[in-house]
Homo-oligomer: A and B are copies of this chain.
Amino acid sequence: MFTISLANEGDGQSILGIAARSGVFTSDEVACVQELWEAYLRDGEASGYVFLVYKGEDGQALAFLCFGPTPLTEGTFDLYWVCVAPEARGRGIASVMLTRMELEVAQRGGRLILVETSSLAAYAAARGLYESRGYQREAVVHDFYSPGDDLVILQKHLGGGHAEAPASAPVTDALPSAS
């Protein structure tokens, strides 16, 4: 059994530890995770950030996800990060975290989820995960992160898929068997 829940104060050290040893965050990005975490602890969801934490059978945190409403939009949410501890990869944890986030977004009236990622080869696995979960490439900003490193924006419309999808398209994902 595993649990996915809204993170609370006691999860901070685990979350920052997972970010630091993930191997995919630069030190600037780890600092950014810490900044958003502190805002979430201080102001709750009014901070604009929500953290979910995944814990294994023994209660140890193995992954976190951060999302929030996109400022100045109606019903658009950003997925900021989903990060799984190195020792827990390959078990589909990121995928169930995404499903749980989609449920949380829908409960908050969200209709559109955006993910910003990089075009670099190092992020190919991440892009593949998002695409396998129904996120579609929406836009590219060339040379965004640095020359040759583009911003790729993926999107997923909740509640029946993209507006152009046929009426018979599968609706939102089933709930994962986790609380």
Q: Which residues of A contact B (CB under 8 A)?
A: 26, 28-29, 32, 70-76, 111-112, 114, 138-147, 153, 155, 157, 163
Most B Cβ at <10 Å: residue of A111, A141, A147? A141
Q: Are B155 and A112 in contact (CB under 8 A)?
A: no
Q: Say how many copies of this protein the assembly contains.
A: 2
Cβ A145 vs Cβ B72 within 8 A: yes
Given the complex, which residues of B lie within 8 Å of A142, measured CB to CB?
Answer: 138, 155
**What residues of chain B lie closer than 8 Å to A32, measured between beta carbons?**
71-72
- In the docked arrangement, what's the CA distance between A142 and B111, Å? 12
User: What is the bound-complex CA distance between A111 and B147, given in angstroms?
Assistant: 9
Q: Which residues of B contact A153 (CB under 8 A)?
A: 139, 141
The answer to whether residues A146 and B73 also contact, given A114-B141, A139-B153, A153-B139 and a CB cut-off of 8 A, is yes
The reply to whether A76 and B139 contact each other, CB–CB distance below 8 Å, is no
Query: Cα distance A71–B26 when bound, in Å?
Result: 13
CA of A44 to CA of B153, assembled, Å: 31
The 7 closest A-B pairs by CB, nearest first: A139-B139, A74-B146, A73-B145, A139-B141, A138-B141, A76-B144, A112-B143
Given contacts A76-B144, A143-B157, 4 further A-B contacts (CB under 8 A): A73-B146, A74-B146, A138-B141, A139-B139
A141 to B163, CA, bound (A): 14
| CB atoms of B29 and A144 under 8 A apart | no
